[in-house]
Structure 1
Amino acid sequence: MLAAFLDDIRDADMIAPRRMAERLRLPMSRLAKLAHLNRNTMAARPESPAVQAKLGEIARIIARAAELAGDEGRAIIWFKHQPIAGFGKTAEELVEEGQAEAVMGTLESMDQGSYA
């Protein structure tokens, strides 16, 4: 599951912003906002360590959610639409607020059998 998602969004040895936006069904401007990146920087310098780090956070969340859900499509729907208990916000909203680690923690709790 992880390999398939990453294969779809990568270009050589980096995450391709446009491909990620397409897989998440988001406009590039929304992906840039979600990742706290300038849209022009993201498009002009996708190899930048800052761009790769921010997109990598999102990729790890989607990949982990896909492992738990058994399906990438379900993971993306969860990411965008399912409020997380205790936060009252979706994973997408939390990532936009800079709380990607909290989302990963929730996914790990879910893997351990906790409901989120």
Structure 2
Amino acid sequence: MLAAFLDDIRDHDLIAPKRMADRLRLPVSRLAKLAHLNRNTMTARPESPAVQAKLGEIARIITRAAEMTGDEGRAIIWFRHQPIAGFGKTAEQLVEQGHADAVMGTLESMEQGVYA
């Protein structure tokens, strides 16, 4: 299941922006905004280290959430729609605001049984 998500968003060893957008059910322009990337740069130069790093953050969050929920679909729904306690915002909103680290911290706390 998780291997399918990672396989589906990759083109060889790179995260493919269009594939990731499709899996997250987002327009490519929304994914670019979420990742703080220029849409044209993201699609024209997906091999760029900056593009791969930003998309990698999102992929790690989805993968970690899917490991916890046991389902990629639930992880994506959580990422896009479920406000995180203590923040009052979704993981998607927090990532867009530059707080991917806070989302990963929340997932780590949840994995340890802290549900604030």
TM interval, shorter chain, is over 0.9
Equivalence for 2:96: 96
Return the letter of the residue paired with 2:7.
D
Q: Supply the distance in 2 between the matched residues of 1:57 and 1:8 (Cα, whole angstroms).
A: 16
Q: Supply the distance in 2 between the matched residues of 1:50 and 1:10 (Cα, whole angstroms).
A: 16
Contact 1:9–1:23, Cα closer than 8 Å, also in 2: yes
1:114 deviation in Å? 1.1
Normalised to the residue count of structure 2, the TM-score between the two structures is 0.98
Equivalence for 1:8: 8
Q: Supply the distance in 2 between the matched residues of 1:29 and 1:9 (Cα, whole angstroms).
A: 16
Deviations 1:35-92 (A, max 9, x none): 0000000010000000000000000000000000110000000000000000000000
CA RMSD of aligned residues (A): 0.8
Long gaps (5+) in structure 2: none
Q: Supply the distance in 1 between the matched residues of 2:2 and 2:112 (Cα, whole angstroms).
A: 19
Equivalence for 1:21: 21
Contact 1:68–1:111, Cα closer than 8 Å, also in 2: yes
1:4 deviation in Å? 2.1
1:115 deviation in Å? 1.2
Return the letter of the residue paired with 2:25.
R
1:61 equivalenced with 2:37 (yes/no)? no
Return the letter of the residue paired with 1:99.
H
Long gaps (5+) in structure 1: none
- List 4+ stretches of structure 1 deviating above 6 A: none
Q: Supply the distance in 2 between the matched residues of 1:2 and 1:74 (Cα, whole angstroms).
A: 12
Q: Supply the distance in 2 between the matched residues of 1:15 and 1:31 (Cα, whole angstroms).
A: 13
What is the number of residues matched between the two proteins? Answer: 116
1:103 deviation in Å? 0.1
1:13 deviation in Å? 0.6
Return the letter of the residue paired with 2:67.
E
